[in-house]
Amino acid sequence: MKEEVVGVFEVDEPRKFGWRHYTMYLTNKRIILGKIGSGPALSSDSESYMKIGTAFINQGFLGLARLAIQKDDSHKYDNMNFEEILEADKDNFAVDYQNELKSVELKERTLGIGKGIPSRIVISPTHGKKKTLLFNKEYFDDLKSLLQKLTANKLVIK
């Protein structure tokens, strides 16, 4: 069976001193993450506070993360195959649903202003460290539906 994309989502990984922004491809065989940006924590000058307030009201916490990203190239992988995406950045990775995935946890967040507090996905591979990512809660139902079909009994909803 040929590997095909069935869903694409933007997700963010909070880091100790900043953020990583990924395009998450759900294929019929695996989850693939392609890094499209990263950045440090926000600066504290007055112009930044205006941007911070606007970003939070319009996009919630993920707006803040994306504001902090210094380079965002969301079309970076448009003309690449899956293997080229994985080789393009050391932070890109894939997890095969059948052989490498221990579990996927989704947690819906319901509080917040505007888009508010983001929902969370935790990808736990059978080997290596789990990956906690945030995404806009408006995509929760779509992501849940796709993961239920793709991962069978490995999806946990909290």
User: How far, in Å, are 29, 74, 125, 154 from residue 100 at the CA level?
Assistant: 11, 27, 5, 11
What are the extents of the domains in the chain? 5-152
Separation between Cα atoms, residue 36 and residue 21, nearest integer Å = 6
17/38 Cα distance (integer angstroms): 10
- For residue 141, pLDDT beyond 90: yes
pLDDT tens profile 69-123: 444 566 788 899 999 999 999 999 999 999 999 999 999 876 655 555 688 999 9
CB 74 within 8 A of CB 23: yes
17-54 tens-digit pLDDT = 777 889 999 999 999 999 988 776 544 433 433 444 44
In angstroms, the CA 42 to CA 148 distance is 36
The answer to whether 6 and 26 are in contact (CB under 8 A) is yes
pLDDT for 111 equals 61
Question: Which numeric CATH code is attached to 5-152?
Answer: 2.30.29.30
